[in-house]
């Protein structure tokens, strides 16, 4: 949780500068709610409307590591691909790639 939640214009500016995307108001509001510290958030969006971006927007304002857990390997691959397109470091971890070495990191 941040001391203050960024403004709508701030989220729009930073997403354009860092990710080179123009975000919709619903994506901005989703980001602001996540950063406000609300413990649970349900957002329903049509497939292909940019719902994956809502996971990446709060990262603009947080330090450290963010884990996003998804139920399907294909969805995880899609998330990793989107992260790469946004110049974010990511790793797709599945039961096949999870090793003792990775668990020590």
Task: Write the pLDDT tens digit of every residue in 45-96.
Answer: 888 888 888 888 998 998 888 888 888 888 888 888 888 888 888 888 887 7
Q: Which domain holds residue 81?
A: 8-104
Q: Report the pLDDT value the prediction gives residue 2, as an integer from 0 to 100.
A: 57
Residue 2 included in any domain: no
Domain count for the chain, please give it: 1
Between vectors from CA 88 to CA 34 and to CA 44, what angle results, nearest 5°? 35
Instruction: Report pLDDT for 58.
Output: 92
Mean of all residue pLDDT scores within the chain:
86
Q: Is residue 13 part of a domain?
A: yes
Which residue, 57, 46, 62, 45, is CA-closest to 86?
Answer: 57
pLDDT at 23 over 70: yes
Q: Residue 1: inside a domain, yes or no?
A: no
Copy the structure tokens of residue 11: 């989220």
- 44 lies in some domain: yes
């Amino acid at each position: 949780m941040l001391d203050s939640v960024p403004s709508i214009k701030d989220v729009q500016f930073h997403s354009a500068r860092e990710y080179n995307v123009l975000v919709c108001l619903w994506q901005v509001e989703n980001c602001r709610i996540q950063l406000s510290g609300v413990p649970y958030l349900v957002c329903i969006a049509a497939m292909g409307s940019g719902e994956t971006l809502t996971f990446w927007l709060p990262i603009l304002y947080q330090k450290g590591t963010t884990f996003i857990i998804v139920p399907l390997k294909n969805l995880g691959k899609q998330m990793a691909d989107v992260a790469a397109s946004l110049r974010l470091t990511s790793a797709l971890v599945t039961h096949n790639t999870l090793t003792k070495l990775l668990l020590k990191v």
